[in-house]
């Protein structure tokens, strides 16, 4: 098999890239290890930056998001049992975010791709990228029970953190920057209307909690838990009790509605950046190149901005023959990646309780929250990062 651009991975990065390249008249093929059902059901992110929502609309994948997504104009920070709203449009020149689950983004992009192309192969597992520095790299993969090759001009690794394309960058060139955090998130999906109109990021006495949502009838909630937590140790009652404690407030008579919990999972928290994001004819995009802890809702949005930048570079090359934008891809993305890494780190460390944290550190973390509540410029900085920095 042969194509111009071989895309490994059909998460948000690979699927949107395929759509953008197809629109620019560039041939590509997407190889996806898992089944369609698996990819469409993986519970992950839920918040789309303004620029992500605009990009989905611009490529024809925005209809259901516009019909069913919830546009949010702010978030609440809850700490010291008080509530503080940060409004976005007034602090950002009119920007907002859309609550629309990653599962739905992926379903919309897959449906479009299967209807209109380019080719998308499920259960096609890439094994290795060969000759990455040559003009004709090759992806070796298994599909339909046999090993095959995809010859191409370029490979884009959109195969997530556990993918294989990152290994195409030789060890002596690849640099990795990493931090793990001493806590994880227990995420639950509950069949109960959200107890809030906007997301609540809460710093309770015994840790962080986040109230998000998937629809007017489904709540998505997260709890800080120790690393190594087994979700089976958390009964529904234990989860609701912990959430109730962490969201407790003296501002008005707010209460948390309980309902049946449909799923529970634990996500570890990690920051990871691989540099460079290009080697020879191989480009890395999304989680294949970087991971952020989820507190700032940046992971999916960064994946989308990487492939928007890359698609623009491929289109420029296709139109003009110039490789200058492809050459600047890694540097341009990494500047944004480090901004998102910094923001996610700040949000994470400000809102979580460090195991064994001393009283000084607790006070400093609270001072950061009080500053956000008291200062419009401080809140504007959060709002600009949360709704998305310009491309």
Residues of this chain that bind ligand DHB (CB under 6 A): 45-47, 199, 210, 212, 220, 294-295, 297
The 10 Å CB-count burial string (b at 16+, else e) for 305-340 is bbbbbbbbbbbbbeeeeeeebbeebbebbbebbeeb
Residue 55: CB atoms within 10 Å: 23
- Minimum distance of ligand DHB from residue 224's CB (angstroms): 12
By CB under 6 A, name the binding residues for ligand FAD: 8-14, 31-34, 39, 44-45, 102, 125-126, 158-160, 163-164, 267, 286-287, 294, 297-300, 303
- Minimum distance of ligand FAD from residue 312's CB (angstroms): 18
Region for residue 148 given its phi and psi (left: phi exceeds 0; alpha: psi -120 to 50; beta: otherwise): beta
Residue identified by tokens 């991971």 is: 291
Which run of H or of E encompasses 87?
strand 82-87
Nearer to ligand FAD, 220 or 281 (CB): 220
Assigned token pair, 62: 């925005």
Nearer to ligand FAD, 242 or 297 (CB): 297
- Minimum distance of ligand FAD from residue 324's CB (angstroms): 25
Binding partner selected for residue 220 from ligand FAD, ligand DHB, none, CB under the kind-specific 5 to 8 Å limit: ligand DHB
Pick the catalytic residue from 154, 181, 279, 386.
386
Nearer to ligand DHB, 297 or 350 (CB): 297
Residue identified by tokens 């060890």 is: 171
73: which residues sit within 8 A by CB, 6+ positions away?
Answer: 87, 88, 89, 96, 198
Nearer to ligand DHB, 207 or 294 (CB): 294
The C-alpha atoms of residue 310 and residue 306 are separated, in whole angstroms, by 6
Pick the catalytic residue from 22, 72, 107, 352.
72
Known catalytic residue at 329 = no
Pick the catalytic residue from 100, 154, 183, 201.
201
Known catalytic residue at 100 = no
Q: From 5, 24, 29, 19, select the one nearest 57 (Cα to Cα).
A: 19
Per the CB < 8 A criterion, the answer to whether 137 and 129 are in contact is: yes
N- to C-terminal Cα separation, the chain: 34
Q: ∠1-313-288 over CA atoms, to 5°?
A: 65
Known catalytic residue at 201 = yes
- Minimum distance of ligand FAD from residue 323's CB (angstroms): 24
CB nearest ligand DHB: which residue?
46
Nearer to ligand FAD, 32 or 76 (CB): 32
What backbone torsions phi and psi does residue 189 show, to the nearest 5 degrees? -110, 125
The C-alpha atoms of residue 192 and residue 27 are separated, in whole angstroms, by 44
Per the CB < 8 A criterion, the answer to whether 292 and 179 are in contact is: no
Binding partner selected for residue 212 from ligand FAD, ligand DHB, none, CB under the kind-specific 5 to 8 Å limit: ligand DHB
Q: How far is CA 170 from CA 175, 275, 284, 328, in A?
A: 10, 11, 13, 20
Binding partner selected for residue 295 from ligand DHB, ligand FAD, none, CB under the kind-specific 5 to 8 Å limit: ligand DHB
The C-alpha atoms of residue 97 and residue 351 are separated, in whole angstroms, by 21
Assigned token pair, 345: 């780190």
Strands 261-275 and 290-291: antiparallel
Pick the catalytic residue from 33, 290, 298, 352.
298
Strands 138-143 and 125-130: antiparallel
Pick the catalytic residue from 211, 294, 329, 352.
294
Nearer to ligand FAD, 267 or 354 (CB): 267
Nearer to ligand FAD, 16 or 91 (CB): 16
Nearer to ligand FAD, 256 or 291 (CB): 291
Q: Which residues are catalytic?
A: 72, 201, 294, 298, 386
């Amino acid at each position: 098999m042969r194509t111009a651009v071989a895309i490994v991975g059909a998460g948000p990065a690979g699927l949107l890239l395929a759509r953008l390249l197809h629109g620019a008249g560039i041939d590509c093929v997407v190889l996806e290890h898992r089944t369609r059902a698996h990819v469409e059901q993986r519970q992950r992110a839920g918040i789309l930056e303004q620029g992500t929502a605009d990009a989905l609309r611009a490529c024809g994948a925005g209809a259901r998001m516009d019909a069913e997504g919830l546009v949010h104009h702010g978030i609440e920070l809850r700490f010291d049992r008080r509530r503080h709203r940060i409004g976005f449009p007034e602090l950002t020149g009119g920007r907002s975010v859309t609550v629309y689950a990653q599962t739905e983004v992926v379903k919309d992009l897959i449906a479009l791709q299967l209807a209109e192309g380019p080719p998308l192969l499920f259960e096609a597992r890439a094994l290795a990228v060969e000759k990455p520095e040559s003009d004709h790299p090759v992806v070796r993969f298994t599909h339909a029970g046999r090993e095959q090759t995809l010859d191409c001009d370029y490979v884009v690794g959109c195969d997530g953190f556990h993918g294989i394309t990152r290994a195409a960058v030789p060890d002596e060139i690849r640099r990795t920057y990493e931090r793990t955090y001493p806590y994880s998130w227990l995420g639950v999906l509950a069949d109960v209307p959200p107890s809030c109109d906007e997301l609540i990021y809460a710093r309770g006495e015994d840790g962080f909690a986040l109230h998000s949502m998937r629809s007017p009838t489904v709540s998505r909630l997260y709890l800080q838990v120790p690393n190594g937590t087994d979700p089976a140790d958390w009964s529904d009652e234990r989860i609701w009790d912990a959430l109730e404690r962490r969201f407790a407030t003296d501002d008005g008579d707010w209460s948390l509605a309980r309902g049946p919990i449909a799923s529970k999972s634990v996500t570890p928290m990690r920051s990871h950046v691989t540099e460079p994001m290009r080697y020879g004819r191989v480009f890395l995009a999304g989680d294949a190149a970087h991971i952020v802890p989820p507190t700032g809702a940046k992971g999916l949005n960064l994946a989308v901005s990487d492939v928007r930048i890359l698609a623009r570079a491929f289109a420029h090359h296709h139109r003009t023959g110039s490789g200058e934008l492809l050459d600047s891809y890694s540097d341009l993305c990494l500047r944004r990646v480090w901004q998102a890494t910094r923001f996610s780190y700040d949000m994470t460390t400000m809102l979580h309780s460090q195991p064994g944290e001393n009283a000084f550190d607790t006070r400093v973390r609270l001072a950061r929250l009080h500053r956000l509540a008291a200062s419009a410029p401080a809140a504007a900085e959060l709002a600009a990062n949360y709704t998305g920095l310009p491309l």
